[in-house]
Structures are given as structure tokens and as C-alpha cells.
């Protein structure tokens, strides 16, 4: 999977799962605020990442994630990019 495919896949599940307007999902938008994540949503997000990308999510990896771009980079760094 290449980077663009990963980003498309990430955007697709975020838009679908968190029912967010597609136009709001931009690389520099704040992830937590845009998706209005609470603790239950975060559980969903962790499960979705593990299910879709096959790696275990660690809390410390999430600390620096502020924007969608940070989130894409985090996913990309954990999957084999073609």
C-alpha cells in the first residue's frame, strides 16, 4: 500500500465511523476536535486502527498526534509502505 492509499483508507474510516463532514478532514485540522472524540470514540479508533492496519496501538505513540497529518504519519510509520 502506498502513502496516498493509506491516507485515503484512513480518511474513509474516519469519515464513516465518526460521521464527520469530509470537507473538515484536512491535513492541518485538529484530529480530536474535528472528530469530537471522547473516551468511547477513542476506544473505537484504537480498535479500528488495530483491525485495519494490523499493529498494536500504544498510548505513548499517540502523545504527539495533534493534526490529521500527524495521524497519517503515525499510521504510515507503522505499516509497510510500497
Give the residues lining the site for another protein (CB under 8 A).
37-40, 42-44, 46-47, 56-60, 62
Kindly tell me which of 1 and 43 has the beta carbon lying closer to another protein: 43
Nearest approach, Cβ of residue 67 and another protein (Å): 17
d(CA 37, CA 2): 27
Residue 38 is a catalytic residue: yes
Out of 16, 21, 38, 41, which one is annotated catalytic? 38
Grid cell at residue 2? 502506498
Kindly tell me which of 15 and 42 has the beta carbon lying closer to another protein: 42
Kindly tell me which of 7 and 49 has the beta carbon lying closer to another protein: 49
Please list the active-site residues: 38
Amino acid at each position: 500500500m502506498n502513502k496516498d492509499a493509506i491516507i485515503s483508507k484512513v480518511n474513509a474510516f474516519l469519515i464513516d465511523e465518526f460521521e464527520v463532514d469530509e470537507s473538515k478532514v484536512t491535513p492541518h485540522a485538529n484530529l480530536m476536535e474535528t472528530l469530537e472524540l471522547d473516551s468511547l470514540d477513542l476506544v473505537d479508533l484504537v480498535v479500528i486502527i488495530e483491525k485495519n492496519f494490523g499493529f498494536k496501538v500504544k498510548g505513548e505513540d499517540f502523545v504527539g498526534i495533534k493534526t490529521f497529518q500527524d495521524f497519517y504519519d503515525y499510521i504510515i510509520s507503522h505499516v509497510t509502505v510500497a
